[in-house]
Amino acid sequence: MSSNTHSLQILLDRAVTQYNRPDFIADDPISIPHRFAKLQDREIMAFWAATLAWGQRKTIIQSANRLSELMDHAPYDFMLNHVEQDRARFESFKHRTFQATDTLWFLEFFQTFYRKNESLETAFSRHLRPQDPTIENALRGFHDDFFDHPYAPERTRKHVATPARGSTCKRLNMFLRWMVRQDAAGVDFGVWKNIRPAQLLIPLDVHVERVARRLGLLQREQTDWKSVLELTENLRAFDATDPVKYDFALFGIGVLRTT
C-alpha cells in the first residue's frame, strides 16, 4: 500500500468512526425504520424512506412519516389486511414526482408480496447466487418482479431503478445497506443474512460522488452504474468485506462537515 493510499484509508476510517454512530440517525431517513421493532415493519418503512430519499432530508422524513400515519403506524398489518377502500386515503399523497399512481402500485406490490412471503429479503436474495461478487443480479431481478404485471404503471419505473438502464440505483443500494450491514454502531440494521456486506454497492448520490472524485476514488466522467462499480471496487481496497461502510465517510465529509 502506497503512503498516499494509506493516508486516504486513515482519513476514511476516521470519518466512518465519526459518522457511523447513533447520533447520525436522528436527521437521516434511516430514522424512520428505526422507530419500528418488527422486521416487516422495518422493511416496509425502510423501503418507503429510501424510495423517497431525494431532496432535503427533513422533507424526506416528513413524507415518510405521513405514509406511516396513513398506514396507522402499523405498516405490516396494514399490508396484510387492508382492503381496496383503504387505499383511497393515499390518493392525496405525493413527494416531489412520486404521485398517487406510484403509491398505489407500491401498496399493491407489498400486499401481494407479503401475503406469500415472510420477508422482503426474499425479493432480492432469490436472484442472487453466493458466488455473485455484487448485488447487481438482485437489483435486476427485483425490478423485473416489481413490475411483473400487465397493469404495472409505466411511470412508476422511474422510482425503482435497475442496472439494466444504467442507473446508479442509489436509493435501492442505500436501502440494501440499511438492511444488510451490521456492526457495533447500530445505525444499519443487519437483519438480512442471505446477502453479504461484501456484495453491497455504494449509494452514489451527489455528495458521495463529489467527495469521491476529489479524493481520486472515482475517475469515470459519467454518473452511472459503471461509476458505482468503479467506486465500490476502489473502496474494497480498504475493506474487502464491508466496502459500503465508507458511505458514512464520503457522505459525512460531503454533507456534514467542510473539508
- Sequence-distant (≥ 6) Cβ neighbours of residue 138 within 8 angstroms: 124, 125, 127, 128, 132, 176, 195
For residues 178 and 33, the answer to whether their CB atoms sit within 8 Å is yes
> Which triple of cell numbers denotes residue 39?
422486521
Sorted by where each begins, the domain ranges of the chain are 3-256
Q: From CA 171, how far away is CA 175, in angstroms rounded?
A: 6
Per-residue pLDDT, 130: 87
Q: How confident is the model at residue 55 (pLDDT cuts 50, 70, 90)?
A: confident
- Is the pLDDT score of 4 beyond 90? no
Which residue do the cell numbers 457495533 mark?
Answer: 184
pTM as predicted: 0.96
